[in-house]
């Protein structure tokens, strides 16, 4: 049953991605990419990764769509007709794509409990988190405590992004 849901959602995501490539109406493209994110969030729920799903739904489907719509008020609504697709470009994309797919064959099987990722630090976090850190939600204790440095870095990245947008786009008090 879960497999069927996985396949249906993944299929819808593929359709949405192809439609984004195909369509010239940028408003529809922005909406479709939001829907794509929401389907991704559903997939994360199926994988029991509710925290990731939450973030994907709030950021990918919510804020990112709003930002794209904000950008759309500044640019024309229709995508410009591009140059004719070149054969060299098609070859590069196909070659890179098949290389990446070939590389996935080396990865552990989907859901394999013996995969290296499940035997690195994860078992220790699962075992000791309640005694060492406390919160019942292990994701929180990993993000905020065990991996506090990473989260500090992420917060700084968001801070920097806002500073960058302000520096580039905001109309300052000083006139150029």
Task: Give residues in contact with another protein (CB under 8 A).
Answer: 50-51, 53-55, 58-59, 62-63, 66-67, 70-71, 73-74, 131-137, 139-141, 143-145, 148-149, 151-152, 154-156, 158-159, 161-163, 165-166, 169-173
Tokens of 8: 């249906």
Nearer of residues 17 and 75 to another protein, judged by Cβ? 75
Least spacing, CB of residue 79 vs another protein, in Å: 19
CA-CA distance, 103 to 107, in Å (whole number)?
Answer: 7
Q: Which of 63, 115 has the CB closer to another protein?
A: 63
Smallest gap from Cβ 62 to another protein, in A, equals: 6
Residues 6+ apart with CB under 8 A from 75: 26
**Residue 32 CB, nearest distance to another protein (Å)?**
20
Q: CA-CA distance, 73 to 27, in Å (whole number)?
A: 10
Strand partners, 78: 25
Rounded to 5 degrees, φ, ψ at 123 are -60, -35
């Amino acid at each position: 049953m879960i497999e069927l849901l996985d396949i249906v959602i993944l299929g819808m995501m593929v359709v949405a991605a192809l439609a984004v490539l195909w369509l010239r109406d940028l408003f529809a493209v922005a909406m479709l990419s939001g829907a794509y994110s929401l389907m991704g969030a559903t997939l994360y729920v199926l994988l029991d990764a509710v925290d990731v799903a939450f973030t994907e739904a709030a950021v990918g489907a919510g804020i990112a769509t709003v930002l794209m719509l904000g950008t759309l008020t500044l640019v024309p609504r229709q995508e410009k007709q591009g140059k004719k697709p070149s054969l060299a470009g098609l070859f590069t994309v196909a070659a890179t794509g098949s290389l990446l797919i070939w590389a996935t064959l080396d990865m552990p099987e989907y859901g394999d409990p013996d995969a290296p990722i499940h035997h690195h630090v994860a078992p220790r976090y699962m075992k000791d988190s309640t005694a060492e850190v406390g919160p019942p939600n292990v994701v929180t204790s990993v993000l905020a405590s065990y991996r506090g440095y990473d989260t500090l870095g992420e917060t700084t990245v968001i801070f920097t992004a806002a500073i960058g947008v302000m520096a580039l786009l905001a109309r300052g008090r000083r006139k150029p």
